[in-house]
Amino acid sequence: MELEDLVQPESVVAHLKVTSKKQALQDLSERAAKLTGLSERAIFETLLERERLGSTGVGQGIAIPHGKLADIDRLHGLFARLDTPIDFESVDDQPVDLIFLLLAPESAGADHLKALARISRLLRNPAVVEKLRASEDASALFAILTEPAATNAA
């Protein structure tokens, strides 16, 4: 699974201005609704439901909120670089400044897990994370997320 299958240039946000986890999830739900045609409320509620099970803040300033929806036709990803890090109740208690949102069809069992693993591997690569944090525009972020070198290094 390649990240080009999950994110498009229009699903990358270079300067997300939010002050809380809830606000971040609301903003990303709104953006995801526009990209997928799904209800913003359904996306937001799905993400909140997943967060209740345990934070998707995986540590080192990274969060990977995700959820499954009945009315989605394929896996969709959104990436956001926050202007100011926020508390995400992460496993290491560090504030989050990079968020990769993943939405999947309810029937996408293995594909959903493969996509989460692929995203996690990429975002555990210190060189990739450093480039993402240093980039100021969406096209540069998209290029970093989808570059073949990132795949090989991760």
Contact 122, 3 (CB under 8 A): yes
Domain of 79?
Answer: 3-148
- From CA 97, how far away is CA 86, in angstroms rounded? 7
pTM of the full structure: 0.93
Contact 86, 20 (CB under 8 A): yes
The angle formed by the CA atoms of residues 20, 144 and 46, to the nearest 5 degrees, is 40
pLDDT tens-digit series, residues 39-97? 999 999 999 999 999 999 999 999 999 999 999 999 999 999 999 999 999 999 999 99
For the chain, give the secondary structure using H, E and C: CCHHHCCCHHHEEEEECCCCHHHHHHHHHHHHHHHHCCCHHHHHHHHHHHHHHCCCEEECCEECCEEEECCCCCCEEEEEEEEEEECCCCCCCCCEEEEEEEEEECCCHHHHHHHHHHHHHHHCCHHHHHHHHHCCCHHHHHHHHHCHHHHHHC
- Structural domain includes residue 110: yes
Question: Would the pLDDT of 154 be above 60?
Answer: no
pLDDT tens-digit series, residues 106-122? 998 899 999 999 999 99
pLDDT at position 109: 82
pLDDT at position 153: 46
Can you give the CATH number for the domain in which 59 is found? 3.40.930.10
Question: Would the pLDDT of 13 be above 90?
Answer: yes
Poorest-pLDDT segment among 14-18, 29-33, 48-52, 147-151: 147-151
pLDDT > 90: percent of the chain: 88
- Structural domain includes residue 153: no
- Structural domain includes residue 17: yes
Q: What's the number of domains the chain is made of?
A: 1
Mean pLDDT score of the chain, rounded to an integer? 93
- Structural domain includes residue 154: no
Residues annotated as catalytic are 66
